[in-house]
Structure 1
Amino acid sequence: MNASLTSDTLTFTVFADIGSVGYVLLVVALLAYLATVLASGTVMILIFVDTSLHKPMYIFLFCLILNGLIGSTAVWPKIMDILSTNSPLISWKGCIAQVFFVLSYGVCNYSLLAVMAYDRFVSIFQPLQYHTIMTPLKVKQLMFVANLMPAAVMLGQTYIASRLPLCRFEVHKIFCASLAVVSLSCSGSQLSDLYGIINTILFVVLPVFLILLSYVKIIVLSLKASTNARKKVFETCSPHIITFVNFSLVSLFSLVYNRYNSFIPAEANIVLSVNYILFPPLLHPIIYGIKTQEIRQSFSKVIKRMLLH
């Protein structure tokens, strides 16, 4: 590798020995990404055009799905480009951009899931005061807290990572993540480590705690309620619970992958990393589309209109 390439370009080593399997992965990645765009776009359009879905719950869902779509788009087109050209390279600026979007995707997901849990909590515990509490202003404030504030903080963490001097130029992952970039530096960064710990507490640990606390209280309440009321609570909360569990599991896999990826074979390395950035953006709109009655009804109305015309 020449000097100019070394100074401006990073190499994804995971793709080095992938061989003919790369073309199979390219097809799978393309189909999965197109399915993500189709599923996400369908639910987002339904929420946008159907006024019956202009409620806090669906506004937050719109943001959650959009966040997943942004996270996918930050990673998968580049992966498909690498697989199609057999050139596992990325510019330093491109890598830093991926770091920012992947970080924002993760923390915004947890923040949005926490806000959605709060929305469900209010709807179940204070149904008569729901519209008084979840005012348009309150919804905007929650959207700011769940979207813009985490993204702004992640911009700071990305900036710190981007200022570290590099001594290594090989990324042992299929996309640029914060830990991967920091590990390339000539020396560790205590500021980056401290910043990362604080961000993890604020935007992962705290949201998870609030989500679990909300559902513990909801479960306790439902156990005291009638069978019909319990069934209604489950129908209301099940999409969010499934989504939360799904994202938490893939985040756990991602944590293992980030810590121990150097000991994992390339094929398994790819599979583990795919969990985090592919499955949640693909599955979340599908889960809500299948499990939420209002979205199903909205979809049916649109299909009927199309058939009638």
Structure 2
Amino acid sequence: MAPFNLTHSEASTFILMGIPGLEAAHVWISIPFSMFYVIGLLGNFMVLFTVGKEQTLQKPMYLLLCMLALTDMATPTFVVPKALCIFWFSLKDITVSGCLTQMFFLHVVSLIHSAVLVTMAFDRYVAVCDPLRYSTILTNVRIAKLVLVGLTRAVLFILPLPLLLSRQPFCSNRFIPHTQCEHVAVVKMFCGDISVNKIYGFVLLFIVYGVDLTLITLSYNFIIRTVLRISSKEAHQKTLNTCTAHVCVMLMYYTPSLFSNLTHRFGQGIAPQVHIILADLYLLIPPMLNPIIYGVKTKELRDKMGKYTCKL
């Protein structure tokens, strides 16, 4: 994406401070950061590699897992390399256009991730509640269209945030107390009338997550009612294993995301270091754990991943 057209000098920069108050521990903090990042990349790459190699796995459920893996690889990649440059080399400068671009992609991928989770809930709803029509309702082409709708929604919803900010004057303080250009942190760097940005960001949070969580809740409400009527213990256990994996992944994504966003806006009594560490861990922990959860709970994927892992 081309840098945003700014009304300010292209040489203008912000300073990402990392984790203020914990500068002496930056090197130590970077160790779990880099470990979580590398483990997450390897795990998600294995999911993509396994599904790509195995023809039997190239069906809607596993293609959605691949989309989830792609977002899990992209999200920390927009943040961790710059954070490690801050921790290791004190390279804290970032251009304004670079900061707004990072913010744009970071939030776009977050909304795509949410859309994929909604689609996964719909996939499980059809598989459990209407299995005889599963292959006709959820074709690979239809899954691709749903993902494209999620991508379009994300771009259209997030694009106004950096565009509105790019027209605002800077404050004299260019120091962002964060490791990343998160919207809530960046908006404080501008001294014009940013009320529209604040309101839009807040409304966007509740509209997107509210709609997505409502759809997911409805899907799993129907799934639970159907599962309780299953008489076969084996089928009952298989369905529960798959759905449990999905629920765990959704809880790991939405719970810290909502907590981080709400504490940024209303948790004035919480130390800023806590805000920053929570925001960073939210980008690192779920991508690292998602492949493990699906590997443990989904036997077909677990067996195929085990086969390729043993060959390495």
TM-score, L = length of structure 1: 0.89
More deviation in 176-185 or 243-252? 176-185
Counterpart Cα distance in 2 of 1:40 and 1:149: 24
Q: 1:225 is paired with a residue of what secondary structure?
A: coil
Counterpart Cα distance in 1 of 2:207 and 2:131: 29
Alignment counterpart, residue 179 of structure 2, candidates 169, 174, 178: 174
Query: C-alpha displacement at 1:87, in angstroms?
Result: 3.6
Corresponding pairs, count: 303
CA 128–68 in structure 1, closer or farther in 2 if over 3 Å, else same: same
Aligned match of 1:163: 167
Q: Which runs of 5+ in 1 are unaligned?
A: none
Q: 2:190 is paired with a residue of what secondary structure?
A: coil
Alignment counterpart, residue 184 of structure 1, candidates 179, 189, 199: 189
Alignment counterpart, residue 40 of structure 2, candidates 11, 27, 36: 36
Aligned match of 1:131: 135
Query: C-alpha displacement at 1:261, in angstroms?
Result: 6.6
Listed as ranges, the matches of 1:99-118 within 5 Å are 99-118=103-122
Listed as ranges, the matches of 1:63-102 within 5 Å are 63-102=67-106
Query: C-alpha displacement at 1:112, in angstroms?
Result: 0.8
Alignment counterpart, residue 215 of structure 1, candidates 212, 220, 228: 220
Q: Is the 8 A contact 1:179 1:258 kept in 2?
A: yes
Counterpart Cα distance in 1 of 2:144 and 2:18: 42
Query: C-alpha displacement at 1:5, in angstroms?
Result: 10
Residue 205 (structure 1) aligned with residue 215 (structure 2):
no
More deviation in 40-49 or 148-157? 148-157
Q: Deviations over 1:63-112 (max 9, x none)?
A: 11111211100000000000111243322122112211221122112111
CA 51–225 in structure 1, closer or farther in 2 if over 3 Å, else same: same
Q: Deviations over 1:256-279 (max 9, x none)?
A: 442257644354343222232111
Aligned match of 2:3: none
CA 262–198 in structure 1, closer or farther in 2 if over 3 Å, else same: closer
Query: C-alpha displacement at 1:236, in angstroms?
Result: 2.2
Aligned match of 1:224: 229
Counterpart Cα distance in 2 of 1:6 and 1:169: 14
Q: CA RMSD in A?
A: 2.4
Aligned match of 2:261: 255
Aligned match of 1:243: 249
Report the AA paired with residue 160 of structure 1: L
Counterpart Cα distance in 1 of 2:166 and 2:40: 30
Counterpart Cα distance in 1 of 2:230 and 2:17: 56
CA 243–226 in structure 1, closer or farther in 2 if over 3 Å, else same: same
Q: 2:179 is paired with a residue of what secondary structure?
A: coil
Q: 2:223 is paired with a residue of what secondary structure?
A: helix
Counterpart Cα distance in 2 of 1:32 and 1:261: 27
Q: Is the 8 A contact 2:242 2:297 kept in 1?
A: no
Aligned match of 1:234: 240
Residue 9 (structure 1) aligned with residue 19 (structure 2):
no
Q: 1:11 is paired with a residue of what secondary structure?
A: strand
Query: C-alpha displacement at 1:194, in angstroms?
Result: 4.7
Q: Deviations over 1:219-241 (max 9, x none)?
A: 12222332514323212211111
Report the AA paired with residue 204 of structure 1: Y
CA 147–49 in structure 1, closer or farther in 2 if over 3 Å, else same: farther
Q: Which runs of 5+ in 2 are unaligned?
A: 1-7
Aligned match of 2:293: 287
Q: Is the 8 A contact 2:40 2:287 kept in 1?
A: yes
Report the AA paired with residue 235 of structure 1: N
Counterpart Cα distance in 1 of 2:164 and 2:203: 14
Aligned match of 1:151: 155
Counterpart Cα distance in 2 of 1:274 and 1:261: 17
Q: Is the 8 A contact 2:21 2:273 kept in 1?
A: no
Aligned match of 1:60: 64
Counterpart Cα distance in 2 of 1:186 and 1:7: 19
Aligned match of 1:272: 278
More deviation in 293-302 or 125-134? 293-302
Report the AA paired with residue 214 of structure 2: F
Q: Is the 8 A contact 2:115 2:147 kept in 1?
A: no
Q: 1:128 is paired with a residue of what secondary structure?
A: helix
TM-score, L = length of structure 2: 0.88
